[in-house]
Amino acid sequence: GNSVTQMEGPVTLSEEAFLTINCTYTATGYPSLFWYVQYPGEGLQLLLKATKADDKGSNKGFEATYRKETTSFHLEKGSVQVSDSAVYFCALSDLGYGGSQGNLIFGKGTKLSVKP
Amino acid sequence: EAQVTQNPRYLITVTGKKLTVTCSQNMNHEYMSWYRQDPGLGLRQIYYSMNVEVTDKGDVPEGYKVSRKEKRNFPLILESPSPNQTSLYFCASSSSGDLGFQYFGPGTRLLVL
């Protein structure tokens, strides 16, 4: 079945450090890929997405490229800030091609803490 | 302002006492869903609804019920809560044209004693 695997946390970085959170997926068909972010005490919100191979999603300085050959969608940011401290979830949506229509399948989340 | 609201935000109850968590969205979205979030397990889908009167089971539906009588509301019902349903619950909605872009509510933290 479809699944998402992301690196386990927590990840602790100093401000202005480079961030990579690894995400790989297993899916039939042609999934769309997403990164969601959950700030402390809040619900999840969409950070970025990519709908086909080689697409790059970007938002708020974060980027991720849909790599079909390595089934990966790693999240990167060149210089993190304290305000980026949150839990990051990788997810896939295998819409209209087997599976359950509309399901987002989430990874387990990676907690990021950025120290001043 | 586009939003998904949930009530209550926090709830402590006892085993077997029926409860309902409400969810409402103001974006005229067709799709709505319930998730639970547990440490080390991430988010797991409980139930979802593609439109009014259309609901389906997610990955962990046991012990839960839902209904979708109106487009904006999607309540989650625990008819006989048990301690293993202690969790953080999220409601989400999206348009049928972009099901991967889901708007999440703020969450309901439930403790079942």
User: Got the DSSP string for B10-59?
Assistant: EEEE-TT--EEEEEEESS--SEEEEEEEETTTEEEEEEEEEETTEEEE-S
Dist CA B25 CA B2 (whole Å): 8
- Phi and psi torsions of A32, nearest 5°: -90, 150
Query: B101 and chain A: CB distance < 8 Å anywhere?
Result: yes
Is the pLDDT score of A95 beyond 90? no
| Subunit contact B48:A46, Cβ cutoff 8 A | no
pLDDT of residue A99: 41
Q: Is the pLDDT of residue A106 over 70?
A: yes
Q: What percent of chain A has pLDDT over 70?
A: 93
Contact B42 A108 (CB under 8 A): yes
Region A87-97 average pLDDT: 81
What pLDDT is attached to residue A26? Answer: 93
Among A residues 57-116, those touching chain B with beta carbons less than 8 Å apart: 89, 91, 93, 95, 100-104, 106-109
Residues lower than pLDDT 70 in chain B: none
Chain A residue with CA closest to B96: the answer is: A102
For B99, the closest of A43, A44, A95 (CB atoms) is A95
pLDDT of A97 > 60? The answer is: no
Using a CB-CB cut-off of 8 Å, the residues of chain B touching A41 are 106
The rounded distance, in Å, linking the Cα atoms of B37 and B40 is: 9
Among B41, B90, B92, beta carbon nearest to A108: B41
pLDDT in tens, B53-69: 999 999 899 999 999 99
Distances in whole angstroms, Cα of residue A32 to Cα of each of A4, A16, A43, B25, B28: 12, 30, 21, 24, 23
**A95·B100 Cβ contact <8 A:** yes
Find chain B residues with C-beta within 8 A of A2's C-beta. none
B90 interfaces chain A, CB cutoff of 8 Å? yes
Suggest the residue from B3, B99, B108, B109 to mutate for an interface test with chain A (most A CBs closer than 10 A): B99
Quick check: A101 pLDDT over 80? no
Q: Is the pLDDT of residue A98 over 90?
A: no
What are A64-69's contacts with CB under 8 Å, separation 24+?
A: A64/A23, A64/A33, A64/A35, A66/A33
**Which tens digit of pLDDT belongs to each residue from A25-58?**
998 878 899 999 999 989 999 999 998 899 999 9
pLDDT at B16: 96
Inform me whether the pLDDT recorded for A93 exceeds 80: yes
Residue A47 has what pLDDT?
A: 97
Q: Which residues of A touch B100 (CB under 8 A)?
A: 32, 34, 49, 91, 93, 95, 104
Q: Is the pLDDT of residue A96 over 80?
A: no
Phi, psi of B58 (to 5 degrees): -95, -140
Q: What is the pLDDT of residue A102?
A: 61
